[in-house]
Amino acid sequence: MDLKDIIKPENRVYGKTPLLTDNVMHYCPGCSHGTVHKLIAEVIEEMGIQEKTIGVSPVGCSVFAYNYLDIDWQQAAHGRAPALATATKRLHPEKYVFTYQGDGDLASIGTAEVMHACNRGENIVIIFINNAIYGMTGGQMAPTTLLGMKTATTPYGRDPKLHGNPLKITELLAQLDGTCFVTRQSVHNPANVRKAKKAIRKAFENSMMDKGTSFVEIVGTCNSGWKLSPVKSNEWMVENMFPKYPLGDIKDI
Ligand SMILES: Cc1ncc(C[n+]2csc(CCOP(=O)(O)OP(=O)(O)O)c2C)c(N)n1
């Protein structure tokens, strides 16, 4: 019997969007990147903008994002995605342009780029994955690392006297006149996955309304870097990350 005869349209509860390629993702089991990729792909499919979307992939674990979403992509040097997205959107105002960046990329190496793109109010979407460390290079401290958190470069825990304080860059960007929508989400359970998807969709819709920059932070896990199982990582994130990085909309105009 053919699969189509068993799974009738009325019985279908979920199907993988064709925008997600069949390439096997290189992410570690439990990593948030894969879930966020899926949400972006679903939003693009549901909005029918596959041919009109250009992603800018970063340096970091999600450097290969272009292998997983069947849309047009550019590859930026570390931290430079908002600058590249600015040029792309200005050259192609009819396109939906988004960046996808980790916290090392966006909140450390590319701080200036993201600040000025948001301040200029570029009509782009910025997706920011905050897992509190530099994942790809082996779990070094990032600006978003929590106080006391052990990383490869803070083996005794982050000490504010030595290493400074965690940077709440999302709150900073919300202060800038160029941002129209700034929100912090997570994908650690089904309810939050749905909320994150809604936020991503809103951000994409905003980018055609000349309202300015939409910024979606996703607080995510890096279980390899954190040296915890996927389940424990989610628990650790809820207990430790959310008090410092509370979920919800920070700005919506
Ligand atoms: C200018 C520059 N500095 C440093 C590096 C090395 N580097 C590559 S990936 C990475 C860390 C990426 O961390 P993050 O942006 O948080 O993304 P994650 O891997 O955690 O998703 C670093 C420091 C680089 N490629 N370019």
Question: Is the whole model's pTM more than 0.75, yes or no?
Answer: yes
Residue 7 belongs to a domain: no
Token pair 């700005």 is at which residue? 251
Say which residues have a Cβ less than 8 Å from residue 211's Cβ, sequence separation at least 6.
Answer: 123, 180, 181, 253
Q: How far is the CA of 7 from the centre of ligand 1 (A)?
A: 43
Q: Give, for all 253 residues of the chain, the pLDDT tens digit.
A: 676 777 777 877 888 899 999 999 999 999 999 999 999 999 999 999 999 999 999 999 999 999 999 999 999 999 999 999 999 999 999 999 999 999 999 999 999 999 999 999 999 999 999 999 999 999 999 999 999 999 999 999 999 999 999 999 999 999 999 999 999 999 999 999 999 999 999 999 999 999 999 999 999 999 999 999 999 999 999 999 999 999 999 999 9
Residue 79 belongs to a domain: yes
Residue 234 belongs to a domain: yes
Q: Is any ligand 1 atom within 6 A of the Cβ of residue 137?
A: yes
Computed from CA positions of residues 117, 186, 76, 99, in that sequence, does the dihedral angle turn out positive or negative?
Answer: negative
Q: For residue 162, give its domain range.
A: 27-131+142-252
Query: Longest C-alpha distance within the chain, in Å?
Result: 67
Please report, for the domain that includes residue 46, its CATH number: 3.40.50.970
- Distance between CA 102 and CA 62 in Å, rounded? 8
Closest residue (by CA) to atom 25 of ligand 1? Answer: 78
Total domains present in the chain: 1
Residue 18 belongs to a domain: no
Q: Is any ligand 1 atom within 6 A of the Cβ of residue 113?
A: no
Q: Where are the alpha helices (DSSP H) in 92-189?
A: 103-104, 111-120, 160-163, 169-174
Question: What residues form DSSP beta bridges with 249?
Answer: 183
- Distance between CA 184 and CA 151 in Å, rounded? 23
- Distance between CA 149 and CA 170 in Å, rounded? 20
Q: How far is the CA of 63 from the centre of ligand 1 (A)?
A: 9
Q: How far is the CA of 112 from the centre of ligand 1 (A)?
A: 16
Residue 203 one-letter amino acid: A
